[in-house]
A and B are shown apart, each in its own frame.
Chain A
Amino acid sequence: MKVATGLMLVLPGLMAGASAEDLTELTEQRFRKLHAELQPGDGELWRSIPWQTSLLAAQSMAAEQKKPLFIWAMDGHPLGCT
Chain B
Amino acid sequence: MIDRASTFASPQVVQFLKTKAIPVAIDQAYQRRQQDTEGEFYRRIVQQSPRKDFGNNTTQGLFMASASGDFLGFTNHRSPDRVMQMLNEAWKKAPRGQVSAIVRETVDRRYNPEPPEGGLIVRVQAKILSGYEPAESQFQHIFQTALSRDNLWITKAEHAALVSGRVPRALVTRIARFHLVDNTRGEPPMWETAEIQSADMTVKGSDLLGSFRLATADGRRRYEATMRGELQVQDGRVVNLDAVVLGTFTGEGRYTRNAPKEPFPLAISFTLADGSDIADGVPPQGGRGWIDGYLK
On whether A68 and B3 interact (CB within 8 A), knowing A55-B31, A80-B27, A81-B183, the answer reads: no
Chain B contacts for A2, CB-based, 8 A:
none
Instruction: With CB as the reference atom, state the residue of chain A lying closest to B127.
Output: A38
Chain B contacts for A71, CB-based, 8 A:
24, 26, 42, 45, 62-65
On whether A70 and B24 interact (CB within 8 A), knowing A26-B246, A59-B41, A63-B100, the answer reads: yes
* Residue count of chain A within 8 Å CB distance of chain B: 53
Determine if B14 and A48 form an interchain contact, defined as CB atoms under 8 angstroms apart.
yes
Determine if B102 and A60 form an interchain contact, defined as CB atoms under 8 angstroms apart.
yes
Tell me the complex Cα distance, A17–B112, Å. Answer: 48
Flag A34-72 by CB within 8 Å of B: 1 or 0 each: 110111100011101111111111111111111111111
Determine if B269 and A38 form an interchain contact, defined as CB atoms under 8 angstroms apart.
yes
Determine if A73 and B60 form an interchain contact, defined as CB atoms under 8 angstroms apart.
yes
B35 within 8 A of A: no
On whether A68 and B91 interact (CB within 8 A), knowing A46-B9, A56-B37, A75-B60, the answer reads: yes
Determine if A67 and B3 form an interchain contact, defined as CB atoms under 8 angstroms apart.
no
Tell me the complex Cα distance, A56–B111, Å. Answer: 14
Chain A contacts for B242, CB-based, 8 A:
35
On whether A64 and B101 interact (CB within 8 A), knowing A39-B125, A73-B59, the answer reads: yes
The interface residues of chain A, by DSSP majority, are classed as mixed
Interface centre among A20, A24, A58 (most CB of B within 10 A): A24
Tell me the complex Cα distance, A30–B148, Å. Answer: 20
B22 within 8 A of A: yes
Chain A contacts for B183, CB-based, 8 A:
76, 81-82
- How far apart are A45's CB and chain B's nearest CB, in angstroms? 5
Instruction: With CB as the reference atom, state the residue of chain A lying closest to B246.
Output: A26
- How far apart are A28's CB and chain B's nearest CB, in angstroms? 7
The interface residues of chain B, by DSSP majority, are classed as mixed
Tell me the complex Cα distance, A27–B228, Å. Answer: 8
Determine if B246 and A34 form an interchain contact, defined as CB atoms under 8 angstroms apart.
yes
Segment of B168-176, B191-199, B275-283 in the binding face:
B275-283
On whether A68 and B64 interact (CB within 8 A), knowing A24-B246, A35-B244, A55-B26, the answer reads: yes
Determine if B269 and A69 form an interchain contact, defined as CB atoms under 8 angstroms apart.
no
Chain B contacts for A68, CB-based, 8 A:
20-22, 64-67, 72, 90-91, 94
- How far apart are B70's CB and chain A's nearest CB, in angstroms? 9
**Residues of B bordering A, CB below 8 Å:** 1, 3-5, 8-11, 14, 17-18, 20-29, 31, 37-38, 41-42, 45, 58-69, 72, 87, 90-91, 94, 96-102, 104, 125-127, 129-130, 147-151, 183, 186-188, 225-229, 242-244, 246-248, 255, 263, 265, 267-269, 271, 278-279, 281-283, 285
Q: Could you pull out 20 A-B pairs where Cβ atoms are within 8 angstroms?
A: A23-B130, A35-B244, A35-B269, A38-B125, A38-B267, A40-B149, A44-B4, A46-B3, A46-B9, A48-B18, A51-B278, A59-B69, A65-B22, A69-B24, A71-B42, A73-B28, A73-B59, A74-B28, A79-B279, A81-B150
**Residues of A bordering B, CB below 8 Å:** 20, 23-28, 30-31, 34-35, 37-40, 44-46, 48-82
